Structure 1
Amino acid sequence: MDNLDMKQEHTVKMDGRKTIELTGVQQVERFDSSEFLLQTVMGKLKVKGSGLKMKHFDTVNKKAAIEGRISSFLYVESSTGMSLFRRSK
């Protein structure tokens, strides 16, 4: 199983706009019913929507699932959660 730890896998699977399943999730930095900010092996990922809630979060296998009405997901550049578009203003 050491090979799995060395492999930095990250997948995003969305079922409609109701559920998003992720692998490679290292931690949940913050969340509420309209936004989740997750640290993944590929960087910070922001998931936005309404009625969002954590369906499950497995810290051992680095898997998470969020359900609700998903409107967007975006990888953010800096640790402050500012996107490339916002920073260029």
Structure 2
Amino acid sequence: MVETKEQVHRLVMEQRKMLSLGGVQDVKSFDENEVLLVTVCGILTIRGKELHVGRLELEKGEADITGGIDSLVYTEHRPLQKKGSALARLFR
């Protein structure tokens, strides 16, 4: 993906049927009930029914999703940590 100076995360939803996004870096997975996107603000999970990724332009960081959108959930996006002992992982 071509990096711009600074990507801005943008999310516009119309009537819970059309979602337009900016700041999209990657698509982790998608099916008709769930779409997982990596955005500049974390991982975004979109759940619903009959979801369809209509437009995806990762070079621009943009995506359009249509369908019956039920929920949008963000989770923090962290780089993978090195594996260590179970005790060491508890205190990170």
TM-score range, shorter chain: 0.7 to 0.9
Number of residues of Structure 1 aligned to a counterpart in Structure 2: 76
**Equivalence for 2:62:** 63
- Within-5 A mapping of 1:5-16: 5-16=4-15
Choose between structure 1 and 2: higher helix proportion: 1
Taking the TM superposition and a 5 Å limit, the aligned residue runs for 1:23-62 are: 23-62=22-61
Structure 2: stretches of 5+ with no match in the other structure: 79-92
Q: CA RMSD in A?
A: 1.5
Identity over aligned residues, as a percent?
A: 37
Q: TM-score, normalised by structure 1?
A: 0.80
Deviation for aligned residue 1:73: 0.4
Detail structure 1 runs of 4+ shifted over 4 Å in the superposition: none
